[in-house]
Chain A
């Protein structure tokens, strides 16, 4: 007889695979409205993962932001600028480099000192004695969580600043700037 734990892990596995496919399609898609809908699909799958990990308060906050408000703002922005993305690469921001470095920090320390270490490792474990300290002279930084939070704050803040700047310019000026007719 399978028990309740097996059903929970099975559902988390299926949800993880579906969310991975949805995330890949969000990045690759050229039609921006479809990309927003795939992002909403990924957020819906993430709420069931948060629920199964017994965190209902995180799910309660994640649903209005990712399914309710974020597609509304981006759809309003798409109505103002352009519908399909060209062949230009997105700039992405340099704070993603901060996230990469923080994830690989324990591995780099392990490679240099010759110890065993894992990717995304935060605190020392039994067989991997590499870790990032939880406190620095009475200030709580909780290992890698501080750096992850800082990098994500910078990335999201720069993204939303760009969105609100674009939303405050009248539509004709933005369209003529994108199609290359007007110049400064």
Chain B
């Protein structure tokens, strides 16, 4: 039928994702310990993956969706690297 009202509703939900992105980045910059920052980057990247997919529908360009898959996978790898580094110095700093 007519997709215009649905597109308008989705378009007005976009600034809420932008606010969530800003608040996540405040915690990533401010976090007093290292796992705080890594957790904020993790959540922010999954939120960005959802945002990228919705933007690729609004821009009407279906080639743009490959970035979301790659982003989700590599941020998980960053989590694992930091966990391995922290655990190899047990009872340390």
Q: Do chains A and B directly touch (beta carbons under 8 Å) in the complex?
A: yes
Tell yes or no: A79 within 8 A of B by CB.
yes
- Interface of chain A: mostly helix, strand, loop or mixed: helix
Binary B-proximity of A37-52 (CB < 8 A = 1, otherwise 0): 1101100110110010
Q: Which residues of A contact B (CB under 8 A)?
A: 4, 7, 10-11, 14, 18, 21-22, 25, 33-34, 37-38, 40-41, 44-45, 47-48, 51, 54, 56, 59-60, 63-64, 67-68, 71-72, 75, 78-79, 83
Do A18 and B38 have beta carbons less than 8 Å apart?
no
Chain B residues near A22 (CB-CB < 8 A):
25, 29
A37 near B37 (CB under 8 angstroms)? yes
Partner of A14, one of B22, B51, B66, B70: B22
| Beta-carbon nearest neighbor of A72 in chain B | B81
A-B residue pair count with CB separations less than 8 angstroms: 88
Q: Quick check: B34 and A47 within 8 Å, CB to CB?
A: no
CB pair A71–B25 under 8 Å, yes or no, is no
Q: Are B71 and A63 touching (Cβ within 8 A)?
A: yes
- How many residues from B make CB contacts under 8 Å with A? 38
Determine the distance from Cα of A66 to Cα of B58 in the docked complex, in whole angstroms: 28
Kindly list chain B residues whose C-beta atoms are within 8 Å of the C-beta of A7. Answer: 11, 14-15
With known contacts A18-B25, A68-B77, A79-B85, A37–B38 Cβ distance under 8 A: yes
> Please, what's the 1-or-0 string for B1-23, where 1 marks a CB less than 8 Å from any CB in chain A?
00000000001001100100110
CA distance A59 to B85 in the complex (A): 27
